Amino acid sequence: MKILANDGISQSGIEALQDAGFEVLTVHVAQEQLQKYINEHKIEVLLVRSATKVRKDIIDNCPTLKIIGRGGVGMDNIDVDHARKKEIEVINTPAASSESVAELVFAHLFGGVRFLHDSNRNMPLEGDTRFKELKKNYGAGRELRGKTLGVIGFGRIGRQVAKIALGCGMKVIASDQQVGEADITLDFYDGQKITLKIKTAPIDELIKQSDFISLHVPSQSGYLIGKDEISKMKDGVGIINAARGGILDENALLEAIEDGKVSFAALDVFENEPTPSIKVLMHDKISLTPHIGAATNEAQDRIGVELANQIISILVK
């Protein structure tokens, strides 16, 4: 059986699949050539990340496909319902990258409150001539301890973000349409554990009380956070989006930064990905990463193994 990992897969995932008797192809096939390649090579399993789209044209015209796998959480680049109607299994790895995304959120958050993203731009250029001025500019940072973090979307990633926040001494407010409350367990290096219960609240309440807001919801139609929502937030709020582009109105965000309502923002995902707005990219109060939330060695390893195990359980009888 042939598997095409069109957006790559970890070596541990490859080895697990090969040990089970599968042939794994890791060549990247351009979107417009994908249907032809699948049919010519009689691909039975197609593995993708966010770069490759699996729409009805591929699903309808590639009769050898038995499984479509998404390395990651969101499956908005796959026509999932249509595939399942065609009796094609659709799998993903919702748990494998949660820790990595959560850590990136806090990398941005720590950087935002201490201006690291802007300081790292300007120190190489002006650190030798404007040192004292830069010191004054970046000397009004804030501590996270004692502040309130609003987590919108309280699934696996949102809960991992909450764990780090609680470990930093922050108060956590969460909002989720499906979850009423959740137990958050903090595991320590010596085997000790503490479990705290977090009850979710309406978004309107969350955005009014939070010093910082982190978004963790799937792709949806329309903005979750737009001009009206931002207007209800605390003055000086920080906003982090490491979920999906299009859930945060970037124009409204830029306006709010300019008038001081939002002190800083951090974006790992963008409305016009992979060609983000130049205004967003050039703004000195926005911390930027190119959609790398799950892109750690550890997460990629877990993703590969989890995909391999699911494929083996489905196809190896």
Active-site residues, by number, are 244, 273, 291
Candidates 207, 199, 210; CA nearest to 225 is 207
Query: Facing residues of 213 across strands?
Result: 150, 239
**48 Cβ neighbours under 8 A, 6+ residues apart:** 6, 7, 54, 68, 69, 70, 71, 77, 78
Q: How far apart are CA 46 and CA 66, in angstroms?
A: 8
Q: How far apart are CA 308 and CA 304, in angstroms?
A: 6
How many of the other CB atoms lie within 10 Å of CB of 42?
Answer: 12
Residue 188: strand, helix, or coil: coil
